[in-house]
Structure 1
Amino acid sequence: MVSSRNSNKEVFEAEVLESSVIDEGVLKKILLRAGRVIAQPALEGFELIMDNTTPPQVRLSIMGALTYLIVPFDLIPDFIPASGFSDDLVALTAVISLWQHHITPEIKFRAKSKLDKWFPL
């Protein structure tokens, strides 16, 4: 019976991952408004989700943090100047720090490439 529970859990996680896609276009629009400081951990998280080697529990928690970023009404609404994205940054960096050991040099490179393309110096 325990094995069927584990099997159901894996199916559920796979369904959640397949149905909960973070749209890169929406993410880009939000990040261009939020700024480079928030974009860096968000893009690392996005690239971590997109990497096939990332475990399901890591993907789910990163998706939660990115969803929190995308939803405009949260603890501090995003439309409030100067502080609107501060809670989003805290959520993103907290989740990213939990899973830092899953972020490979390739993931960092892909995230940095997008960051530099979206926010040229």
Structure 2
Amino acid sequence: MKKSNEIEKYKKHYDEKEFLGKVFKYAKTAGINVVYVGLLLFYTLQNPKLPRKLKNVVIGSLGYFILPIDLVPDMIPLAGYTDDLGILMAAIVMVAFYIDEDAKTKAKEKLKDLFGEYDEKLLEEINKKINKSKQKEN
């Protein structure tokens, strides 16, 4: 994950409406994995047990996702969201302990709204990383 001062830089770009707007507008372009990870973070942010420090990490990573101009501009076909996924996955690993079944269920329901029916096997790698990170914390 980027240094904490870099996270602070992106925190100011986070806005719930902008996040959801970008997800709805660019879901197909970003792909199901990027959207799933973003939604997991979004719903985990609503968990009252998430410590303030980790909330800042989530807000910073979602702020990075919202910005169209970042390390790899989102408009570049195929590569545009790879940096976003990397940042979001780093945040996922950090907050994995707080990702509960409610957040997963809400994220998967929203995926159905955005993508229609999809193969849940597409999400296996992400869920494995979450579970592996949770095991490390126990």
Report the TM range for the smaller structure's normalisation.
0.7 to 0.9
- Structure 1 residue 58: deviation in Å? 1.5
Matched letter for residue 112 of structure 2: D
Which of these two proteins has the greater Rg computed from alpha carbons?
1
Aligned-pair CA distance for 1:32: 4.1
Aligned pair partner of 1:22 in 5, 8, 16: 16
1:39-118 alignment, distance < 5 Å: 39-118=35-114
Identity %: 31
**Structure 1: distance between partners of 2:66 and 2:26:** 7
Q: Give the residue type in structure 1 aligned to 2:16.
A: I
Q: Which ranges of structure 2 fall in alignment gaps of 5 or more residues?
A: 1-10, 118-138
User: Are the counterparts in 1 of residues 47 and 98 from structure 2 also a CA contact under 8 Å?
Assistant: no
Task: List per-residue Cα deviations over 1:23-57 (Å, max 9, x = no partner).
Answer: 22344324343121210100000001122332221
* Superposed CA RMSD: 1.9
Partner of 1:5: none
> 1:119 deviation in Å?
1.1
For this pair of structures, how many residues does the alignment match? 104
Structure 1, unaligned stretches of length 5 or more? 1-15
Q: Alignment partner of 1:99: what SS?
A: helix
Structure 1 residue aligned with 2:133: none
Q: More deviation in 26-35 or 73-82?
A: 26-35
Change (3 A) 1:31 1:66: farther
> Using a 3 Å threshold, how does the CA distance of structure 1 residues 49 and 41 change in structure 2: closer, same or farther?
same
Scaled by the length of structure 1, what TM-score is found?
A: 0.76
The answer to whether the 8 A contact 1:78-1:85 is kept is yes
Q: Distance between the aligned counterparts of 1:51 and 1:30, measured in 2?
A: 25
Q: Match of 2:16, SS?
A: coil
1:119 to 106, 115, 135: 115
